[in-house]
Amino acid sequence: MRKLLLLLLALFLSITATISPASYHITSKITPKRMEQGESLPSDSLSLSSGSAVLMEASTGTILYEKDSATKRPPASVTKVMSMLLIFDAISSGKIRPSDPVTVSEHAAGMGGSQVFLEVGEIQTVETLLKCISIASANDAVVALAEHVSGSEESFVQAMNEKAAALGMKHTNFVNCCGLDDPDHYTSAIDIALMTRELITKHPEVFNYCGIWQEDITHTTRKGSSLFTLTNTNKLLKQYPYATGLKTGSTSQAKFCLSATATKDHMTLIAVIMAAENSRIRFAEATKLLEYGFSTTSIYSDEIKGTTYTLPVKKGASDTLQMTCQNNFCYLSRTAENLSQVEKKTKLPKEITAPVKKGDAIGEISYYLNGQQLGSIPLCADQDIEKAHFTDYYRKLLLEYLP
């Protein structure tokens, strides 16, 4: 008799589930409020003499200043920002490991320009070659790693151009991985900022290499072993207290170039200089850009990506729904706003009715300052939850009432 009553109750519940009210869903995708990229100073307001310049806030990608930012120019060894991006991509994907041995080819050893004088047949680890690239801007080291990752420099350069296109670098074409001058090898200040942002955001471990001021490596060849001292080409590391990296470059055609990164008060800026007349000017004008950015810009950030929330589910195959924040929240201010007064509000229904689709926006976290909404982050369902059927109700009842 007891089992019959349970069966009838389950049947009644399954019928009422088919006439439940509509589910509560927020379908619009809301992104944080950001400044328009064109909202920057006039190109001559900082009186920079370098050919091109860009100042970018890294977390949002907002352009704070630009001068001839889209002009195509030879980038010299700043090219290696893209090379390092692909190398770190290969490490993170498991394609190569920092401890892997790399045998130096005749092509790599024959690179001119800046080098660490690798010899044909010499074996160095991936990590050591990364240090040679990021500290000493070594052309021979970057070609050796390009060949290790892709089989040849040509294949690696093809991947560089594919990555550039994927990042929206509209003024870029690479023909080598090291930055030697070539009429068809060019990029722009804005494109350098884009690839720099991708590198430092996706692979912050790059700072473990480009932040080294000086380090010895060991050459081991048939002639024996010898020490070689790497000294960082980025003098900004010593000249500017907030500098963290990243890459210098100079050739007769490119003149003096730099992609500089600096962090202060939890904000990271990227300053790009192209075609400076000398090394002193590139560092001085990068410093001027960084100081301008830090003095006129502040940022509020909430590192909430991956934070989870749980809701009860009515009439679903599962009783609970988990949601995850898909992004961090960042708000960039160019005024004297007091960002410590930002208020955070979470909007969620008390419960939700099945069905639910994975990725549905169920609620949102909103941010306010002085009563004005700065932006919000959606809270999205982590899984599908179907409407409960008779068997689901029956199983629940059995689990609840039967021993």
Question: Which residues are designated catalytic?
Answer: 77, 80, 137
Residue with tokens 């000017």: 281
Burial class (CB in 10 A: 0-12, 13-18, 19+), 127: middle
In 45-125, alpha helices (H): 80-92, 106-109
The rounded Cα 148 to chain-centroid distance in angstroms is 24
Residue with tokens 């041995």: 101
The answer to whether the CB of 149 falls within 8 A of the CB of 260 is no
The answer to whether the CB of 254 falls within 8 A of the CB of 273 is no
Alpha-carbon distance 7 to 1, whole Å? Answer: 10
Alpha-carbon distance 139 to 179, whole Å? Answer: 8
Report the residue count for the chain: 403
The answer to whether the CB of 165 falls within 8 A of the CB of 198 is no
Alpha-carbon distance 174 to 162, whole Å? Answer: 10
Alpha-carbon distance 231 to 211, whole Å? Answer: 11
Copy the structure tokens of residue 341. 């007064």
Copy the structure tokens of residue 96. 């190569």
At residue 166, the 3 state secondary structure works out as helix
Residue with tokens 């170039």: 257
Q: How many CB atoms lie within 10 A of CB 302?
A: 18
Look at residues 100, 282, 271, 80 and name the one whose alpha carbon lies nearest to residue 185: 80
Please give the sequence-ordered ranges of beta strands (E in DSSP) within 203-354, or none if there are none.
Answer: 214-221, 224-231, 243-251, 255-264, 267-276, 298-302, 308-314, 320-325, 329-333, 343-347, 352-353
Query: 215 pairs with which residues across the strands?
Result: 230
Q: How many CB atoms lie within 10 A of CB 182?
A: 13
